[in-house]
Chain A
Amino acid sequence: MSDCRREWNREDELPVYLAGPIAGPKQRKSYGMFSSVEGAFDSKTIDFDNYAVGRKGSRTPRSSSRERVLDTEESNGKTPDNAQEAPLSNAQVEHEEGDSATGITAATTQNRLLGEGEKLLIKGGRVVNDDQSMFADVYIEDGVIKQVGENLTVPEDVKVIEANGRMVIPGGIDVNTCFMKPFLDTYPVDDFLQGTKAALSGGTTMIIDHVMPQPDESLLAAFERWQEAADKKACCDYSLHVDIPQWNETVKDELELLVQDKGVNSFQVYMAYKDVYQMTDSQLYQAFSFLKKLGAVVLVHAENGDLIAQEQNKILGMGITGPEGHPLSRPEEVEAEAVFRAITLGNRVNCPVYITKVMSKSAADTITQARRKGSVVFGEPLTAGLATDGSHYWSKNWAKAAAYVTSPPLSPDPTTPDHLNTLLACGDLQVVGSAHCAYSLAQKAIGKENFTLIPEGTNGVEERMGFVWDKAVAFGKMDENQFVAVTSTNAAKIFNLYPRKGRITVGSDADIVIWDPNRIKTIMAKQQQSASEYNIFEGLECRGGPALVLCQGRVVCEDGIIEAQQGTGRFIPRKPFPDLAYQRIKFRNQVNNTQGVARGMYDGPVYEVPLTPKYMTPAPSAKTSPTTNQPPPVRNLHQSNFSLSGAQADDYIPRRSGHRIVAPPGGRSNISNLG
């Protein structure tokens, strides 16, 4: 029975008389969460666009990513028409140019990469989304999931992958990478190619990178620079956050353009890096207000830069120049303080706040408490914070100690990773990023005599999913659905990519990972995809890892062998006003309309203030010179008359104007009916 139903699934094949009604959502009697087994037909056709209330055109981005290339007039060779083939040719070109590091397995991929028509069936897996797990097959065509269910009818030439009962999860989304973050003219060794390859090998199929404009560079220019680099090199889909290095009027215009035309809906502001990126509270307030209007998510790097600058001076002055000075000068209280301040600002402005890089217990606790009070705040711990701690800063080996330098620093408290994993499991922290920013040892050594010059960043994009599994799921803190939520779904929701990304359902992108919970891997720098010489997790055993990674419907990683294609990554534009962040905000906006009290004019005596500018340095003997503060009676009478003449608008209000206080101007009126 289900067989014949399935025939009708494609509307064009349906008899005319059936075409309309069955396709409509009303026909589906048993769709929904629990229909996975019986009515396989239904689960194949969940049309989430219908459910996404108010999310206008959430599917448009799919095509626009290619159009954008034309818009920005940077299409060097790419045409929007044969979008799927363009990356291939690109890859080949680059390969021929002889960059030996890049074209890994061009020969094999050519066979595999049938471009448009690749059809894949994942059989016998357990599909795990953030809300439920179910046994189902997944059929993929053209990089999009076409059917989910049992006993699917698929074309003949389909390639079948046997999942053998293993978990099939949405590909991970790493919300925080820095593949191009410049530091004193040097760039991380992991660029978009190397970085996304590492991501894919760890089961992450999308990254969101931080565009970090130099303090006097235009945001747009930086954004385009990043996009260009990523389009050339990225092996998986990507999107971009833009960091706001300073706040002024021109930035506002650029932000508007970025949100409306460029598909950026998240911007990072800094509370640290004094005199470089740091913003004052007033600027933060203005930035928050403005970004809220645009519907963007505010990312905050939360550390108190003023205090850090002071502490750094103090610690350098004490003769501590090694990497241990880094955590000593950035104690976790300083992080917690800034988190608290950022949340306060967010509450005042009524704007969602996303704290990047939650590294310490106290910062995480601050977020937890704020959420308990109802603040719209999200917290993002990092791979490094979840899997290791800051005791390594005291390593006798300089190179090792320096490898851990990142900001905020890893907490020296060894119980921190456990605490963060617990909060992640219970939902107080929402997403896991990696802040992958790998500098080579030589680059780190720039700061060999001064810890403040050590470039900040650790690896983690490759190990991210594995460690969340190892530290949280394998320990029984977290279930597999929450695992999917924190590694993928929540990120997609917060940044408005859901359900295109972050879910295995009909119509979603075919970014899928077959997860093997029993795979045990020892992390070693020798075996990693990243180009850096070290790995901060060196020697740690990690249980759980991807057995197979599908990106854009193609197998890119199987049993640790990467077959990624340089340049296949597409830029995924994101719409503003993500529901997860902004729904509550919208309602609060309506509720929080403050109003003034309608009251009668005050008509009593008014002390005459000497007309000195408010904040001029007054003479210390202001009191002894009575000439300046003369209360001229004439003036005063005039004023109170004036106020009465204008007060007709609210005459109906019962007020005390009838029983006017008669007192000599400047004298004291004895108002006794105040209670």
Chain B
Amino acid sequence: MAERRENRDIADEHDLPVYLARPGTADQVPRQKYGGLFSSVRDAFDGKSIDFDALSVGQSTPRSARRETGRGARSPASDSCWSSPGVERRAERVAVEKRAERSLEAALERSMETRSRRDKETLQYLEQTSERLLIKGGRIVNDDQSFHADIYMEDGHIKQIGDNLIVPGGVKTVEANGKMVIPGGIDIHTHLQMPYRGTATVDDFGQGTKAALAGGTTMIVDHVIPEPGCSLVEAFDQWRQWADDKSCCDYSLHVDITHWNDSVQQEVDALIKEKGVNSFQVYMAYKDYYQMTNSELYEVFTFLAERGGIAQVHAENGEIIAEEQARMLQMGITGPEGHVLSRPEELEAEAVFRAVTIASQTNCPLYVTRVMSKSAADIISLARKKGNVVFGEPIAASLGTDGTHYWSKNWAKAASFVTSPPLSPDPTTPDYLHTLLSSGDLSVTGSAHCTFSVAQKAIGKDDFTQIPEGVNGVEERMALIWDKAVTTGKMDENMFVAVTSTNAAKILNLYPRKGRIAVGSDADLVIWDTDAVRTVTAKTHNSAAEYNIFEGLELRGAPQVVVCQGKIVLEDGNLHTSSGVGRFIPCSPYPDFAYKRIKARKQLAVLKAVPRGMYDGPVSEYSLSRGGTPSASARSSPTKQPVRNLHHSGFTLSGPSIPEDLPIRPAGRRITVPPGGRSNITSLS
């Protein structure tokens, strides 16, 4: 990346007139006056040219595979991939690097070139890329600041931000009327179209992303779950195919590691390097199926730490769950309440604790999916306080409802809440999780949207262990957090943006392309109506499921307008989505958000042996048959001891290399004792 930048810079210099080419000329400095983050109002020109690449120090290749869309235009196009964002960036950088004498026309010309080149690559986006949109009079809310500014979007990117923008004629204008404009939500955890025992979740990528967009979420990250024993890459390709066919918004993929061996290791490597996956989930639950032993977890974490991946864990102690499930069934509890009884929250907390320990041993960033209980959240926040690199992800369900419904008399209702880890029966849990989310101890929110029809849930009507696990939430996620955290005063709007979008983008290494409203970012944004009140009901929701676990909940706050890829997909309550426009967004490894600290620690954590002289005292005789029955009288057979022992100590003396100069017990002062006898070493202190 760095080299490439330099190349570009060199190219820039060639373009420039010779007398301006010197970098860092002093007379350009005054132009910097209004540059930076707080210039939004006065000088619109500067506001338009925030170059976050220049601001984000050390951020490696954040925009690398920008145009690498899901249509297989992968490696051959990589060069042009570089050039296209590069040109824009060059235009932006000009302001910052004070080479602004370059004519505006030249820049425009170049961007025209770029566009035509890009059009050649991705013809199917032609119509979409020519769309232009202006949002006027909104208050832009990012995770760090809020300010009033207009936003001009073109080609699915944000081109200008500021007041009094110069925009071409005939641009569609949306009046925000002072409402908040926030980056589109990123739902970092979904299971759309997940296969389950010959069937699949009722929300496929089309239906699921539609629901997401209706709720203000403009990007989802789905989990690829390969069957144990199957190829990860094949499963990944399968998911790509499903999503490319149907997805209405951009998406990315986590891959779950369901078994571990050398070939899996190679596949993980390939996925990171070639396929744009940077996060992998492992399971500590589902005994005999997905579950991994501690040793395997250790190996996976070590490997991911080397390759710059994020280790996600499903944290529950599968072994104890298996025992408890057997116990519950034996006690005659077969209904959905058995689910929560057999998976008490301490098992979740225990597994989180273990995962944190393993991650800290391997120096690997850890991401705990589905934080459902107070105790698990507490463990995460404790670990963060101790300095561990841990991220916690509560999901919409745990933030919006609790586990008391498992005891519902209505089987279908109770079953619809079944998910793992289960919702906590403690009704104060949602409130608590919101507090930790507001304080930053939990970092991101997902939905773990995984919907099954009642008929599918009924597979487990006589045995709760057979109920397919999953709840809805992709549509309600944003509104739920707004209602429960922001309107109650726990969280401010900037934090709201952080937990619904920005932090996820940072973890996935997509920031600032996603998760921020800034020049050059993708045009995924939402005009958020803080006063709208809606009641959640299965009748009107966009998911295909017959039930909604938030049924009847009144939520304040809703998206008014949703813009995805520069196109309006939700306006006036009408959803206009088109299947298949969603692009796969590849994530690059080593996200700064997680790995900056890891890298620094890696350098510190070099272990060194103590240089010390050889031990030259007597060595007791032993046999290496560890585990074999030892003869009880081993000490009473001194027959072959002397010979062996002398040999040993002679051997060690012949080998010493360093001990001469060290202040240890001098070799000359050797302790002479009969082998096997007791040497009275008094110089121990």
Contacts and interface: CB of A to CB of B under 8 A. Distances in A.
Interface of A: 182-187, 189, 214-217, 225, 276, 280-282, 285-286, 304, 306-307, 309-311, 315, 318-322, 324-325, 328, 331, 333-334, 336-337, 340-341, 344-345, 347-348, 394-403, 440-443, 445-446, 448, 525-526, 531, 533-535, 538-539, 594-602, 604-607, 609-610, 612, 615, 617-618, 620, 622-623, 628-629, 643, 653-656, 663, 666-672, 674-675
Nearest to B299: A310
B358 interface: yes
Of residues A318, A325, A399, A403, which shows the largest number of chain B Cβ atoms within 10 Å of its Cβ? A399
B612 A622 contact: no
A215 B626 CA distance: 10
B627 interface: yes
5 contacts: A281-B320, A310-B298, A396-B611, A596-B335, A604-B454
B10 to A, nearest CB: 43
Interface string B299-312: 10000000000000
Nearest to B388: A333
B319 interface: yes
Contacts of B537: 675
Given A344-B347, A596-B335, A620-B227, A215 B682 contact: no
Given A319-B609, A442-B618, 14 more contacts: A214-B627, A214-B630, A285-B323, A320-B609, A442-B676, A534-B681, A539-B685, A594-B328, A597-B409, A610-B198, A615-B289, A623-B198, A623-B200, A675-B537
Interface residue SS majority, chain B:
loop
B571 interface: no
Interface string B654-685: 00000000111100000000011011111111
B551 A307 contact: no
Contact of A596 (B338, B361, B613): B338
B97 to A, nearest CB: 45
Contacts of A448: 614-615, 619, 652
Given A281-B320, A394-B610, A617 B198 contact: no
Given A281-B317, A674-B413, A675-B552, A397 B665 contact: yes
Interface residues of B, number: 116
8 nearest A-B residue pairs (beta carbon) = A306-B294, A629-B198, A281-B319, A675-B551, A185-B634, A596-B333, A337-B357, A344-B350
A527 B312 CA distance: 56
A556 to B, nearest CB: 25
B350 A341 contact: yes
B228 interface: yes
A348 B346 contact: yes
A152 B368 CA distance: 69
Contacts of A322: 609-610, 612
Contact of B617 (A320, A399, A526): A399
Contacts of B631: 185
Nearest to B649: A445
B323 A599 contact: no
Contacts of B408: 597, 599
B118 to A, nearest CB: 35
Nearest to A655: B409
B405 to A, nearest CB: 10
A616 to B, nearest CB: 10
A442 B615 CA distance: 10
A306 B297 CA distance: 10
Contact of A604 (B331, B412, B630): B412
A629 B354 contact: no
B681 A533 contact: yes
Nearest to B230: A620
A135 B195 CA distance: 78
Nearest to B452: A607
A322 B624 CA distance: 19
Contact of B546 (A337, A629, A671): A671
Contacts of B413: 674
A19 B665 CA distance: 74
Given A341-B350, A396-B664, A599-B409, A604 B295 contact: no
B56 interface: no
Contacts of A609: 197-198, 459
Interface in B323-353: 323-324, 328, 331-335, 337-338, 341, 344, 346-347, 349-350, 353
Contacts of A606: 455, 458-459, 461
A39 to B, nearest CB: 50
B627 A607 contact: no
Contact of A306 (B298, B328, B608, B675): B298
Contacts of B202: 668
Contact of B199 (A394, A629, A671): A629
Nearest to B242: A623
B682 A525 contact: yes
B416 interface: yes
A443 B357 contact: no
Contacts of A539: 685
Contacts of A320: 607-609
B617 A445 contact: yes
Of residues A311, A320, A599, which shows the largest number of chain B Cβ atoms within 10 Å of its Cβ? A599
A282 B323 contact: yes
A441 B610 contact: no
A602 B361 contact: no
Contacts of B266: none
Nearest to B383: A333
B615 to A, nearest CB: 4
Interface string B53-91: 000000000000000000000000000000000000000
A275 to B, nearest CB: 8
A656 B195 CA distance: 31
B548 to A, nearest CB: 8
Contacts of B333: 594-596
A592 to B, nearest CB: 10
B156 to A, nearest CB: 33
B198 A622 contact: yes
A71 B93 CA distance: 92
Contact of B411 (A331, A531, A602): A602
Interface string B148-168: 000000000000000000000
